[in-house]
Structure 1
Amino acid sequence: MTSPSTQRESASTDAFDPATATIAVVTFNRSGLLTRLLESIERMDPHPGHVVIVDNASTDDTTAVVESFRERIGAEIVYRRLDTNTGGSGGFSEGMRVAYELGSQWIWLMDDDVEVLPDGLARMGKWSGRFKSIQGRRYDYDGSEFYWQYRVAERMGIPIPFAPSGFDASGYKEMNSGCFEGMFIHRDIVAQIGLPDPRFFIYWDDQTYGWLASRITTSVIVDEFVLRRTREIKQWDMGIRHMNASSDAYRYYIMRNRAIIKRYHRALGVYNPVLFGFGTALTFGKELIRLLFVERKVRGTSNLFRGLRDGRAIARDRQWRPMPPLVAAAS
């Protein structure tokens, strides 16, 4: 296993070439938001070499929108329309696969409900000589600075909601998590940890992937604003932090996918049944609070219990294995 310091030394010898970077976008029935994102990529300076768009079987005019940008976006568009909706997890796994097979050195993942600031790629690229797993910052829909939970309590498998938000003179903070709304990752790391796990469908997939990356390299969040959210989400303003509204589908997968995280923890020898169980209980409690105070309703708890139930089948599955490294798969 390569140490973080070795990763930094090897990265420092590489000059950043924007043409070797690929933006990978996942979209589903939100052509209006996708249009705004593609327009922002058109305005970028510099441009990436490729823009990979994974369409999760949209039924709107997404295909026509993509085609309308081919000659004007300033990068080569690679469009993959999937036969079924594989969720954000499946979409990002496919987007990463396509970008990796294109030979991309850097892969920048993002959802369709953000836009890229014009100098975003340059801002990320200036850190590429020091780190290989990088998260930029973003503005929220209202222009405020979005706080992302960049650290997880490893043994509990949950984000730390009040990790310090300020930056010192270094301009970065080490993280052990990830967010597919802006993850900027080098192909060397992808080769070692494999593709994002599509079995999550939605939720916990990016946190787990970022955690896996942080185990082999120094992962950082940098004090660079590079994205802006373009979709308003109902929130509960807690003063220092916000809590977003959710959905029944999210509630189900939030609890079901705890079982997938548990399998990764077991496979990597960090599973602690007491602490992980406590993390699951805290997650359940947080979702109850979200229902009551953000969505102001009590219906929806059945999805939490259903997720826990279905997660038990994943925990007992003797055929389950983590996603394989790409270097091993290619050998």
Structure 2
Amino acid sequence: MSFAAVVVSYNRLPLLKKCLTALEKQSHPLDEIIVIDNGSTDGSADYIRTTHPEVTLFETSTNLGGAGGFAWGIELALARGHEAAWLMDDDAEPELDAAAPLIDSFQSQDLKPAFIASLVTAGRGKFNKRNPPVVSTDPQHQVRAADYGGFAIQTATFVGVMINLEEASRTHLPMADYFIWMDDSEYTHRLSDSRFAMLLPDSMVNHPDNKPISNDMGERLFYFTRNRLWYTRSRTSAISTDILEIIGVALHAIKQFPIAASKKTWFSSVTRGFWCGFFQQPRKVMPGELIATLPDAERKRLGI
């Protein structure tokens, strides 16, 4: 099998340097590292060209958000003939032995899983509570996962999840309209709906413990509200679960009001978030459609 790492980066050069160094020093070498630069203005693209010429660099020229960046990353990994892609943001720092368990597990299973996720940590062996997976309730899946030293899950974050590109080729790409938040939950849930997925604790990826969403979210409250509603509408779940989720979104919006620096921004974000979440749908783009928009010269440079 052929394994690629896909990193989405935007204006975080110091963190990107750590991420690329960790990827290049993996105990089990990766076949390719693909970086999607989301229109960075901090010299990230120039740094990659001069310091990591072996990395495949694709520049979007504008910030497409994590969702749009990972859509391009999966598109390129498919087009370049890989069979699995290890997805992460530029602030992820894999342990140097993190790829090996994922690759070994993929290669050992006859029926390849939809994805195998790394354990997101805040330092080696320390669970990062900000990035919990959603554990599968299917007992047969749990038994199978235990046979391979892991546990079955339904969703994972784009912080070290290795996806089966054969399975990814059968469904639409991560939806760029999500921009930030919930795009990874929606995408991995969609993949695990059709096939077994698991997490391997032996594979660890460090991730900063960022500011909690209980802080003033400002305009980002719009994406939080809209995207959670989009995800709730799209996933396979019980109606009672969906109702509780909607109530939770509303309660979170209410809790944001007293700490919002701008009440006008709060009102706009909440009203737009609920309107778009209930009455709009994100666009769906199938693999191959993004590549078709590239000029011939860019396709030739990328080897596709």
TM-score (ref. length: structure 2): 0.79
What residue identity is the alignment partner of 1:305?
Answer: T
Q: CA deviation at 1:149?
A: 2.9
What residue identity is the alignment partner of 1:59?
Answer: T
State whether structure 2 residue 244 is matched by structure 1 residue 261. no
Corresponding residue number in structure 2 for 1:66:
48
Corresponding residue number in structure 2 for 1:208:
186
Q: CA deviation at 1:326?
A: 6.5
Corresponding residue number in structure 1 for 2:204:
226
Corresponding residue number in structure 2 for 1:54:
36
Q: List gaps (5 residues or longer) in structure 1.
A: 1-16, 155-166, 236-242
Corresponding residue number in structure 1 for 2:242:
276
State whether structure 2 residue 274 is matched by structure 1 residue 297. no
Q: List gaps (5 residues or longer) in structure 2.
A: 138-144, 293-304
**Equivalent residues in 2 for 1:126-137, closer than 5 Å:** 126-128=104-106, 129-130=108-109, 131-137=113-119
Q: CA deviation at 1:144?
A: 2.7
Whole-Å separation in 2 of the counterparts to 1:112 and 1:174: 26
Provide closer, same or farther for how the CA distance between residues 286 and 262 of structure 1 changes in structure 2, counting only shifts above 3 A. Answer: closer
The one-character-per-residue Cα deviations of 1:250-297 (angstroms, maximum 9, x if unpaired) are 3211111244335534xxxx47666424312212324555x48xxx82
Share of identical aligned residues, percent?
A: 22
Aligned partner (choices 76, 84, 92) of residue 106 of structure 1: 84
What residue identity is the alignment partner of 1:254?
Answer: F
State whether structure 2 residue 272 is matched by structure 1 residue 306. yes
Q: CA deviation at 1:201?
A: 0.8
Check the 8 A contact 1:140/1:228 in 2, yes or no. Answer: yes
Count how many residue pairs are aligned between Structure 1 and Structure 2: 276
What residue identity is the alignment partner of 2:259?
Answer: K
Q: CA deviation at 1:123?
A: 1.6
Q: CA deviation at 1:125?
A: 1.2
State whether structure 2 residue 106 is matched by structure 1 residue 117. no
Corresponding residue number in structure 1 for 2:132:
149
Q: CA deviation at 1:109?
A: 0.3
SS at match of 2:194: coil
Whole-Å separation in 1 of the counterparts to 2:170 and 2:94: 28
Whole-Å separation in 2 of the counterparts to 1:218 and 1:49: 25
Check the 8 A contact 1:233/1:244 in 2, yes or no. Answer: no
Q: CA deviation at 1:173?
A: 1.5
More helix by share: 2
What residue identity is the alignment partner of 1:253?
Answer: Y
Provide closer, same or farther for how the CA distance between residues 123 and 246 of structure 1 changes in structure 2, counting only shifts above 3 A. Answer: farther
Check the 8 A contact 1:123/1:226 in 2, yes or no. Answer: no
TM-score (ref. length: structure 1): 0.73
Whole-Å separation in 2 of the counterparts to 1:244 and 1:122: 36
